[in-house]
Amino acid sequence: MFDAIVFDLDGTLLDTIQDLANAANYVCRQNGWPQYTVDQYKYFVGNGIPKLVERFSPAEARTPERLAHTLDQFSRRYAAHKADVTAPYPGIPEALEQLRQAGVVLGVLSNKEDTLARAIVEQYFGSGIFAHVQGALPGLPVKPDPTTLRALLARPEFAGRRVLFVGDSDVDILTARNAGLPGCGVLWGFRTRQELESAGAAYIIQHPHQLVELAAI
C-alpha cells in the first residue's frame, strides 16, 4: 500500500485555471496584447508563474526587464483575485479526509511560489490535512526537476514511507519518475490521458475516491 501521497496543487487539488486565465488576460488587455482561452492556458501553466507569464507575453515583450514588469503586474492582479472562482475539485476534500483517517501522510508540492502555495492550501484545506506544503523556492529548480520533491521526501514525516506522487500533467509524472516514485495521473485536471500515458504514469484515475483505493493496494 501507499502510506504517503504527495499532490500537485493546480489542476489536481484545486481548479485554479479560470482565476489564472482571468488574471493573465487582464494583464494582456492592460498591455494591448492578444488574449487566450482557458483551454489554451491549461497548456501555459504547470511550470510556475514566471513561465506562465513568459508564455502569454508576445515575443517582443520577453526581455528580462519587461518580463519582470509583467510578472509584477500578474502577481498583483492574481493575488487580489486568486479566490474568485477557485475551488477544490468535487470529491477532493472527502478523499483527503478518508486518507488522513486511514493514517496516510499527505503532502503538497507545487511550482507556485512557496509562500503563495502555502497560503492557498491553508485557505482551502486548513492546517490539519497536509504534513508539509512545499512551493517553489528561490535558486532551486522547479518540477519536473526532482530537487524539491526529494527534499520533501527527506523530511521525517515522509522518510521510509511508500510514497505516491499525484498530478494532472506530464510535468508531475516526470517529476515522480525523476525522483524514483510511481506517478498517478488524474483526469479531472488540465491535461489529457494521452499526455499522462506518454509521460509514463503508473496509474491513471478518473475520480478522487480512487485515491483511497490506491492507498489500500
List pLDDT tens digits, range 68-106.
Answer: 999 999 999 999 999 999 999 999 999 999 999 999 999
List pLDDT tens digits, range 161-194.
Answer: 999 999 999 999 999 999 999 999 999 999 999 9
Active-site residue 8, yes or no? yes
217: confidence class by pLDDT, cuts 50, 70, 90 = low
Section 134-140 average pLDDT? 96
Annotated catalytic residue, options 3, 8, 39, 114? 8
Q: How far apart are CA 85 and CA 35, in angstroms?
A: 19
Section 4-23 average pLDDT? 98
The whole-chain average pLDDT of the chain stands at: 97
Section 4-10 average pLDDT? 98
Alpha-helix residue ranges (DSSP H) falling in the chain: 17-31, 38-44, 49-56, 64-81, 92-101, 114-125, 147-153, 170-178, 193-199, 209-215
